[in-house]
Amino acid sequence: MGSGRNPAPGVAEQENTSARTARLTQFFDHMCDHVPVRTAYRCRTYPDQAQQAVLNRTFGCVRVVWNRTLAARQARWHMQDKTTSYAESDRALTAMKKDPDLAFLNEVSSVPLQQALRHQHKAFGVFFAGRARYPRFKSRRSRQCAHYTRSAFTMRGGQLRLAKISAALRYVWSWPDVDVGTLDPAMVIVSREPDGRWYVTFTVDAAAPVPPEDTGHAIGIDLGVTDFATTSDGNKIANQRHLERKARRLARYQRRMARCQKGSANCRKAAAKVARAHRKVRNARRDFLHRASTRLVRTADLIAIEDLPVRNMVRNRHLARAISDCGWGEFRRQLEYKCERYGRRLVVIDRWYPSSKTCSACGHLRADLSLSTRHWRCPSCSARHDRDINAAKNILAAGLAVARGSPGDACGADVRHSGFSRVRSAVKQEPRPASAGIPVLQGGE
Protein backbone atom coordinates (compact mmCIF):
# COMPACT_ATOMS: atom_id res chain seq x y z
CA MET A 1 0.00 0.00 0.00
CA GLY A 2 1.24 3.53 -0.73
CA SER A 3 2.28 5.76 2.12
CA GLY A 4 0.63 8.79 0.55
CA ARG A 5 3.89 10.74 0.18
CA ASN A 6 4.33 10.07 -3.56
CA PRO A 7 2.15 12.28 -5.79
CA ALA A 8 -0.25 10.83 -8.28
CA PRO A 9 1.23 10.03 -11.73
CA GLY A 10 -0.61 12.91 -13.39
CA VAL A 11 0.54 15.38 -10.78
CA ALA A 12 4.14 14.17 -10.98
CA GLU A 13 4.12 14.47 -14.77
CA GLN A 14 2.70 18.00 -14.51
CA GLU A 15 5.41 18.99 -12.02
CA ASN A 16 8.15 17.57 -14.25
CA THR A 17 6.74 19.45 -17.24
CA SER A 18 6.60 22.70 -15.27
CA ALA A 19 10.17 22.28 -14.05
CA ARG A 20 11.37 21.47 -17.57
CA THR A 21 9.56 24.53 -18.94
CA ALA A 22 11.12 26.73 -16.26
CA ARG A 23 14.60 25.42 -17.08
CA LEU A 24 14.08 26.00 -20.82
CA THR A 25 12.78 29.52 -20.17
CA GLN A 26 15.78 30.28 -17.98
CA PHE A 27 18.13 28.87 -20.65
CA PHE A 28 16.63 30.92 -23.48
CA ASP A 29 16.63 34.07 -21.33
CA HIS A 30 20.31 33.45 -20.63
CA MET A 31 21.01 32.95 -24.34
CA CYS A 32 19.12 36.11 -25.30
CA ASP A 33 21.14 38.11 -22.79
CA HIS A 34 24.34 36.98 -24.49
CA VAL A 35 23.32 37.44 -28.12
CA PRO A 36 25.92 39.79 -29.65
CA VAL A 37 24.83 42.98 -31.33
CA ARG A 38 26.72 44.30 -34.33
CA THR A 39 27.88 47.83 -33.50
CA ALA A 40 29.90 50.23 -35.67
CA TYR A 41 32.29 53.00 -34.60
CA ARG A 42 33.13 55.54 -37.31
CA CYS A 43 36.22 57.70 -36.75
CA ARG A 44 38.23 60.27 -38.66
CA THR A 45 41.50 58.88 -39.94
CA TYR A 46 44.57 60.72 -41.22
CA PRO A 47 46.65 58.50 -43.52
CA ASP A 48 50.03 59.79 -44.66
CA GLN A 49 50.98 60.21 -48.32
CA ALA A 50 52.22 56.63 -48.74
CA GLN A 51 49.12 55.20 -47.10
CA GLN A 52 46.86 57.39 -49.21
CA ALA A 53 48.58 56.11 -52.36
CA VAL A 54 47.98 52.47 -51.38
CA LEU A 55 44.38 53.12 -50.34
CA ASN A 56 43.60 55.08 -53.51
CA ARG A 57 45.04 52.22 -55.54
CA THR A 58 42.85 49.81 -53.59
CA PHE A 59 39.78 51.95 -54.25
CA GLY A 60 40.54 51.94 -57.95
CA CYS A 61 40.95 48.14 -58.03
CA VAL A 62 37.68 47.66 -56.16
CA ARG A 63 35.99 49.94 -58.67
CA VAL A 64 37.46 48.02 -61.63
CA VAL A 65 36.38 44.64 -60.23
CA TRP A 66 32.87 45.87 -59.46
CA ASN A 67 32.31 47.53 -62.86
CA ARG A 68 33.77 44.68 -64.92
CA THR A 69 31.81 42.06 -63.00
CA LEU A 70 28.60 44.08 -63.32
CA ALA A 71 29.12 44.55 -67.07
CA ALA A 72 29.82 40.83 -67.57
CA ARG A 73 26.77 39.93 -65.52
CA GLN A 74 24.54 42.20 -67.61
CA ALA A 75 25.98 40.93 -70.91
CA ARG A 76 25.45 37.30 -69.91
CA TRP A 77 21.86 37.99 -68.89
CA HIS A 78 21.00 39.78 -72.16
CA MET A 79 22.80 37.31 -74.46
CA GLN A 80 22.29 33.97 -72.69
CA ASP A 81 19.40 34.75 -70.33
CA LYS A 82 21.44 33.34 -67.43
CA THR A 83 22.27 34.72 -64.01
CA THR A 84 25.78 34.74 -62.54
CA SER A 85 26.48 33.06 -59.23
CA TYR A 86 29.06 34.20 -56.70
CA ALA A 87 31.31 31.22 -57.51
CA GLU A 88 31.31 32.18 -61.20
CA SER A 89 32.18 35.79 -60.43
CA ASP A 90 34.95 34.57 -58.12
CA ARG A 91 36.46 32.51 -60.95
CA ALA A 92 36.18 35.56 -63.21
CA LEU A 93 38.18 37.56 -60.65
CA THR A 94 40.94 34.93 -60.78
CA ALA A 95 40.98 35.23 -64.57
CA MET A 96 41.16 39.03 -64.29
CA LYS A 97 44.23 38.82 -62.08
CA LYS A 98 45.97 36.65 -64.70
CA ASP A 99 45.27 39.18 -67.46
CA PRO A 100 48.46 41.18 -68.20
CA ASP A 101 46.44 44.34 -68.70
CA LEU A 102 45.02 43.96 -65.17
CA ALA A 103 48.20 42.94 -63.42
CA PHE A 104 47.81 45.90 -61.04
CA LEU A 105 45.04 43.96 -59.26
CA ASN A 106 47.77 41.84 -57.64
CA GLU A 107 49.40 44.89 -56.06
CA VAL A 108 46.62 45.39 -53.50
CA SER A 109 45.02 43.15 -50.91
CA SER A 110 42.67 40.56 -52.36
CA VAL A 111 40.20 40.84 -49.46
CA PRO A 112 38.55 44.14 -50.56
CA LEU A 113 38.19 42.70 -54.07
CA GLN A 114 36.46 39.58 -52.75
CA GLN A 115 34.23 41.73 -50.57
CA ALA A 116 33.20 43.77 -53.62
CA LEU A 117 31.98 40.56 -55.27
CA ARG A 118 30.07 39.55 -52.14
CA HIS A 119 28.43 42.96 -51.91
CA GLN A 120 27.41 42.87 -55.57
CA HIS A 121 25.94 39.39 -55.16
CA LYS A 122 23.97 40.60 -52.13
CA ALA A 123 22.88 43.75 -53.99
CA PHE A 124 21.31 41.65 -56.74
CA GLY A 125 19.63 39.47 -54.13
CA VAL A 126 17.88 42.42 -52.48
CA PHE A 127 17.06 43.85 -55.93
CA PHE A 128 15.27 40.70 -57.04
CA ALA A 129 13.53 40.61 -53.65
CA GLY A 130 12.12 44.07 -54.41
CA ARG A 131 13.85 45.84 -51.51
CA ALA A 132 16.40 47.93 -53.45
CA ARG A 133 17.04 49.39 -56.88
CA TYR A 134 19.24 47.88 -59.58
CA PRO A 135 23.00 47.98 -58.76
CA ARG A 136 24.84 50.78 -60.54
CA PHE A 137 28.37 51.25 -61.81
CA LYS A 138 30.83 52.92 -59.43
CA SER A 139 32.30 56.33 -60.21
CA ARG A 140 35.61 57.74 -59.05
CA ARG A 141 33.89 61.00 -58.07
CA SER A 142 31.59 59.37 -55.52
CA ARG A 143 32.37 57.91 -52.09
CA GLN A 144 35.18 55.33 -52.20
CA CYS A 145 35.51 52.51 -49.68
CA ALA A 146 37.30 49.22 -49.09
CA HIS A 147 36.22 46.46 -46.68
CA TYR A 148 38.86 44.49 -44.78
CA THR A 149 37.99 41.30 -42.89
CA ARG A 150 40.03 39.79 -40.05
CA SER A 151 42.54 38.19 -42.42
CA ALA A 152 43.51 41.57 -43.90
CA PHE A 153 44.16 43.69 -40.79
CA THR A 154 45.56 43.48 -37.27
CA MET A 155 44.37 45.40 -34.22
CA ARG A 156 46.67 45.27 -31.20
CA GLY A 157 46.71 47.80 -28.40
CA GLY A 158 44.58 50.20 -30.40
CA GLN A 159 46.99 50.21 -33.37
CA LEU A 160 45.42 49.36 -36.72
CA ARG A 161 47.55 47.88 -39.50
CA LEU A 162 46.06 47.06 -42.89
CA ALA A 163 47.30 44.57 -45.46
CA LYS A 164 49.89 45.97 -47.91
CA ILE A 165 50.48 48.93 -45.52
CA SER A 166 53.39 48.63 -43.12
CA ALA A 167 52.79 51.61 -40.82
CA ALA A 168 49.85 51.85 -38.43
CA LEU A 169 46.89 53.93 -39.58
CA ARG A 170 46.40 57.03 -37.45
CA TYR A 171 42.82 57.75 -36.37
CA VAL A 172 40.98 59.69 -33.67
CA TRP A 173 38.91 57.73 -31.16
CA SER A 174 35.84 59.64 -29.98
CA TRP A 175 34.27 57.28 -27.39
CA PRO A 176 35.94 57.75 -23.99
CA ASP A 177 33.71 55.12 -22.35
CA VAL A 178 34.97 52.40 -24.75
CA ASP A 179 38.52 51.11 -24.35
CA VAL A 180 39.99 51.04 -27.84
CA GLY A 181 42.86 48.85 -26.60
CA THR A 182 40.49 45.94 -26.03
CA LEU A 183 38.57 46.46 -29.27
CA ASP A 184 38.25 43.30 -31.38
CA PRO A 185 36.62 44.38 -34.67
CA ALA A 186 35.15 41.84 -37.05
CA MET A 187 35.60 44.15 -40.05
CA VAL A 188 37.31 47.43 -40.84
CA ILE A 189 36.00 49.79 -43.54
CA VAL A 190 38.23 52.58 -44.86
CA SER A 191 36.44 55.25 -46.87
CA ARG A 192 37.15 58.58 -48.56
CA GLU A 193 34.31 61.04 -48.95
CA PRO A 194 33.96 63.34 -52.01
CA ASP A 195 35.00 66.30 -49.86
CA GLY A 196 38.39 64.68 -49.22
CA ARG A 197 37.86 63.48 -45.64
CA TRP A 198 39.01 59.99 -44.66
CA TYR A 199 37.13 57.71 -42.26
CA VAL A 200 37.66 54.30 -40.73
CA THR A 201 34.75 52.24 -39.41
CA PHE A 202 35.14 49.40 -36.89
CA THR A 203 32.31 46.84 -36.79
CA VAL A 204 32.25 45.04 -33.45
CA ASP A 205 30.12 42.22 -32.02
CA ALA A 206 29.22 43.82 -28.69
CA ALA A 207 27.01 42.57 -25.88
CA ALA A 208 23.34 43.46 -26.08
CA PRO A 209 22.55 46.62 -24.10
CA VAL A 210 20.46 46.40 -20.96
CA PRO A 211 16.88 47.30 -21.92
CA PRO A 212 15.51 50.32 -20.10
CA GLU A 213 12.66 50.05 -17.63
CA ASP A 214 9.11 50.01 -18.95
CA THR A 215 7.51 53.41 -19.01
CA GLY A 216 3.92 52.23 -19.39
CA HIS A 217 3.48 54.82 -22.11
CA ALA A 218 2.52 54.46 -25.79
CA ILE A 219 2.79 57.17 -28.40
CA GLY A 220 1.57 57.79 -31.93
CA ILE A 221 3.56 59.90 -34.40
CA ASP A 222 2.26 61.81 -37.40
CA LEU A 223 5.05 62.99 -39.73
CA GLY A 224 4.71 66.17 -41.74
CA VAL A 225 6.48 69.01 -43.50
CA THR A 226 5.26 72.03 -41.54
CA ASP A 227 6.19 70.24 -38.30
CA PHE A 228 8.55 67.31 -38.63
CA ALA A 229 6.55 65.17 -36.20
CA THR A 230 3.46 65.54 -34.04
CA THR A 231 2.89 63.13 -31.17
CA SER A 232 -0.38 61.92 -29.69
CA ASP A 233 0.59 63.72 -26.46
CA GLY A 234 0.16 67.05 -28.26
CA ASN A 235 3.88 67.79 -28.64
CA LYS A 236 5.27 69.01 -31.94
CA ILE A 237 8.85 68.61 -33.17
CA ALA A 238 9.76 71.53 -35.38
CA ASN A 239 11.10 70.91 -38.87
CA GLN A 240 14.68 72.16 -38.88
CA ARG A 241 14.80 72.57 -42.71
CA HIS A 242 18.53 71.90 -42.88
CA LEU A 243 18.81 72.04 -46.68
CA GLU A 244 16.69 75.17 -46.99
CA ARG A 245 18.98 77.09 -44.61
CA LYS A 246 22.05 76.17 -46.70
CA ALA A 247 20.37 76.41 -50.10
CA ARG A 248 21.73 79.85 -51.08
CA ARG A 249 25.32 79.00 -50.19
CA LEU A 250 25.05 75.62 -51.89
CA ALA A 251 23.66 77.22 -55.05
CA ARG A 252 26.57 79.69 -55.10
CA TYR A 253 29.11 76.87 -54.87
CA GLN A 254 27.35 74.95 -57.63
CA ARG A 255 27.38 77.98 -59.93
CA ARG A 256 31.13 78.36 -59.38
CA MET A 257 31.66 74.69 -60.19
CA ALA A 258 29.54 74.99 -63.35
CA ARG A 259 31.76 77.83 -64.63
CA CYS A 260 34.97 75.82 -64.20
CA GLN A 261 36.51 73.78 -66.97
CA LYS A 262 35.73 70.11 -66.45
CA GLY A 263 38.71 68.10 -65.26
CA SER A 264 40.71 71.12 -64.12
CA ALA A 265 42.16 71.67 -60.65
CA ASN A 266 39.75 74.54 -60.00
CA CYS A 267 36.83 72.27 -60.89
CA ARG A 268 38.01 69.69 -58.35
CA LYS A 269 38.32 72.40 -55.69
CA ALA A 270 34.83 73.71 -56.46
CA ALA A 271 33.42 70.17 -56.34
CA ALA A 272 35.05 69.65 -52.93
CA LYS A 273 33.32 72.82 -51.66
CA VAL A 274 29.96 71.54 -52.88
CA ALA A 275 30.61 68.20 -51.20
CA ARG A 276 31.54 69.92 -47.92
CA ALA A 277 28.31 71.94 -47.98
CA HIS A 278 26.29 68.76 -48.52
CA ARG A 279 28.23 67.02 -45.72
CA LYS A 280 27.29 69.76 -43.22
CA VAL A 281 23.62 69.48 -44.17
CA ARG A 282 23.74 65.68 -43.99
CA ASN A 283 25.45 65.61 -40.59
CA ALA A 284 23.07 68.19 -39.10
CA ARG A 285 20.05 66.23 -40.35
CA ARG A 286 21.41 62.92 -39.07
CA ASP A 287 22.17 64.40 -35.64
CA PHE A 288 18.65 65.83 -35.41
CA LEU A 289 17.06 62.50 -36.37
CA HIS A 290 19.19 60.57 -33.86
CA ARG A 291 18.24 62.92 -31.04
CA ALA A 292 14.53 62.81 -31.89
CA SER A 293 14.36 59.02 -32.31
CA THR A 294 16.37 58.35 -29.13
CA ARG A 295 14.12 60.64 -27.11
CA LEU A 296 11.01 58.80 -28.34
CA VAL A 297 12.44 55.33 -27.69
CA ARG A 298 13.38 56.31 -24.14
CA THR A 299 9.94 57.69 -23.29
CA ALA A 300 7.57 55.09 -24.82
CA ASP A 301 7.18 51.32 -24.78
CA LEU A 302 5.11 51.30 -27.98
CA ILE A 303 5.57 53.66 -30.92
CA ALA A 304 3.08 53.79 -33.79
CA ILE A 305 3.88 55.47 -37.12
CA GLU A 306 2.45 55.54 -40.62
CA ASP A 307 3.89 53.61 -43.56
CA LEU A 308 4.56 56.64 -45.73
CA PRO A 309 5.33 55.99 -49.44
CA VAL A 310 8.31 58.37 -49.53
CA ARG A 311 9.49 57.08 -52.90
CA ASN A 312 6.17 58.03 -54.48
CA MET A 313 5.79 61.29 -52.59
CA VAL A 314 9.09 62.74 -53.82
CA ARG A 315 7.77 62.51 -57.38
CA ASN A 316 5.76 65.62 -56.63
CA ARG A 317 8.07 68.32 -58.00
CA HIS A 318 6.56 70.94 -55.68
CA LEU A 319 7.28 69.01 -52.47
CA ALA A 320 10.20 66.76 -53.46
CA ARG A 321 12.92 68.93 -51.90
CA ALA A 322 10.98 69.57 -48.68
CA ILE A 323 10.14 65.88 -48.24
CA SER A 324 13.70 64.78 -48.95
CA ASP A 325 15.00 67.35 -46.48
CA CYS A 326 12.84 65.87 -43.71
CA GLY A 327 14.50 62.44 -43.83
CA TRP A 328 11.41 60.37 -43.01
CA GLY A 329 12.94 57.14 -44.31
CA GLU A 330 16.08 57.53 -42.19
CA PHE A 331 13.93 58.41 -39.17
CA ARG A 332 11.93 55.20 -39.54
CA ARG A 333 15.12 53.15 -40.00
CA GLN A 334 16.55 54.57 -36.78
CA LEU A 335 13.33 53.86 -34.90
CA GLU A 336 13.33 50.27 -36.18
CA TYR A 337 16.80 49.32 -35.03
CA LYS A 338 16.61 51.29 -31.77
CA CYS A 339 13.29 49.70 -30.80
CA GLU A 340 14.69 46.25 -31.60
CA ARG A 341 17.86 46.92 -29.62
CA TYR A 342 16.18 48.34 -26.52
CA GLY A 343 13.16 46.06 -26.34
CA ARG A 344 10.54 48.56 -27.52
CA ARG A 345 7.77 47.83 -30.02
CA LEU A 346 7.33 49.73 -33.27
CA VAL A 347 3.96 49.38 -35.03
CA VAL A 348 3.64 50.56 -38.63
CA ILE A 349 0.10 51.50 -39.69
CA ASP A 350 -1.12 51.04 -43.24
CA ARG A 351 -0.60 54.09 -45.43
CA TRP A 352 -4.26 54.14 -46.52
CA TYR A 353 -5.64 54.49 -43.02
CA PRO A 354 -7.49 57.89 -42.99
CA SER A 355 -5.94 59.17 -39.79
CA SER A 356 -6.36 62.87 -40.62
CA LYS A 357 -10.00 62.61 -41.70
CA THR A 358 -11.17 60.56 -38.72
CA CYS A 359 -12.38 62.14 -35.50
CA SER A 360 -10.26 60.77 -32.67
CA ALA A 361 -13.13 61.33 -30.21
CA CYS A 362 -16.07 59.60 -31.92
CA GLY A 363 -14.70 58.01 -35.10
CA HIS A 364 -16.63 60.14 -37.59
CA LEU A 365 -15.00 60.04 -41.04
CA ARG A 366 -15.06 63.17 -43.19
CA ALA A 367 -15.55 62.69 -46.89
CA ASP A 368 -12.90 65.27 -47.81
CA LEU A 369 -10.23 67.29 -46.02
CA SER A 370 -7.84 69.50 -47.96
CA LEU A 371 -4.20 69.87 -47.00
CA SER A 372 -4.73 73.56 -46.28
CA THR A 373 -7.22 72.76 -43.52
CA ARG A 374 -5.16 72.64 -40.33
CA HIS A 375 -8.08 72.72 -37.86
CA TRP A 376 -11.56 71.28 -38.23
CA ARG A 377 -14.67 70.61 -36.14
CA CYS A 378 -16.33 67.20 -36.08
CA PRO A 379 -19.94 67.47 -37.32
CA SER A 380 -20.92 64.46 -35.22
CA CYS A 381 -19.59 65.27 -31.71
CA SER A 382 -18.57 68.96 -32.23
CA ALA A 383 -15.01 68.24 -31.09
CA ARG A 384 -12.44 70.67 -32.50
CA HIS A 385 -9.22 69.08 -33.77
CA ASP A 386 -5.76 70.11 -34.72
CA ARG A 387 -5.20 68.15 -37.91
CA ASP A 388 -1.81 66.68 -36.95
CA ILE A 389 -2.59 65.96 -33.29
CA ASN A 390 -5.83 64.27 -34.30
CA ALA A 391 -3.95 62.11 -36.84
CA ALA A 392 -1.36 61.15 -34.21
CA LYS A 393 -4.11 60.08 -31.79
CA ASN A 394 -5.73 57.91 -34.47
CA ILE A 395 -2.36 56.37 -35.33
CA LEU A 396 -1.85 55.54 -31.66
CA ALA A 397 -5.30 53.96 -31.42
CA ALA A 398 -4.57 51.84 -34.50
CA GLY A 399 -1.18 50.86 -33.07
CA LEU A 400 -2.76 49.75 -29.79
CA ALA A 401 -5.24 47.68 -31.81
CA VAL A 402 -2.31 45.97 -33.53
CA ALA A 403 -0.66 45.34 -30.15
CA ARG A 404 -3.87 43.66 -28.94
CA GLY A 405 -3.92 41.49 -32.04
CA SER A 406 -7.27 42.72 -33.33
CA PRO A 407 -8.43 41.43 -36.73
CA GLY A 408 -8.03 43.97 -39.49
CA ASP A 409 -5.34 45.83 -37.62
CA ALA A 410 -3.08 46.08 -40.67
CA CYS A 411 -5.06 49.02 -41.99
CA GLY A 412 -5.90 50.54 -38.64
CA ALA A 413 -9.37 49.06 -38.41
CA ASP A 414 -11.18 47.90 -35.27
CA VAL A 415 -10.04 50.97 -33.36
CA ARG A 416 -12.13 51.84 -30.32
CA HIS A 417 -12.39 55.59 -29.75
CA SER A 418 -12.92 57.26 -26.42
CA GLY A 419 -16.53 57.74 -25.39
CA PHE A 420 -17.98 55.18 -27.83
CA SER A 421 -18.19 51.40 -27.49
CA ARG A 422 -19.08 50.52 -31.07
CA VAL A 423 -16.25 49.20 -33.26
CA ARG A 424 -16.62 48.93 -37.02
CA SER A 425 -14.14 47.14 -39.30
CA ALA A 426 -12.69 48.57 -42.49
CA VAL A 427 -12.73 46.80 -45.82
CA LYS A 428 -11.99 49.27 -48.57
CA GLN A 429 -10.55 52.76 -48.39
CA GLU A 430 -13.63 54.68 -49.56
CA PRO A 431 -15.76 56.74 -47.15
CA ARG A 432 -19.53 56.53 -46.83
CA PRO A 433 -21.88 58.36 -44.42
CA ALA A 434 -20.17 58.16 -41.06
CA SER A 435 -21.58 56.98 -37.76
CA ALA A 436 -20.17 56.55 -34.29
CA GLY A 437 -17.14 54.28 -34.16
CA ILE A 438 -14.09 54.07 -36.36
CA PRO A 439 -13.97 55.18 -40.01
CA VAL A 440 -16.44 53.09 -41.99
CA LEU A 441 -15.07 51.81 -45.29
CA GLN A 442 -16.81 50.12 -48.18
CA GLY A 443 -15.97 47.49 -50.70
CA GLY A 444 -15.08 43.86 -50.99
CA GLU A 445 -11.34 43.62 -50.42
Angle at 282 between CA 281 and CA 283, to 5 degrees: 95
| 244 assigned to active site | no
b/e 363-372 (16+ beta carbons within 10 angstroms → b): bbbbeeeeee
| 386 assigned to active site | no
193, 301, 306, 350: which one is catalytic? Answer: 306
Cα–Cα separations (whole angstroms), residue 292 to 211, 391, 407: 19, 19, 32
301, 325, 350, 388: which one is catalytic? Answer: 388
222, 301, 350, 414: which one is catalytic? Answer: 222
| 325 assigned to active site | no
* Whole-angstrom distance, CA of residue 300 vs CA of residue 310: 25
Catalytic residues: 222, 306, 388
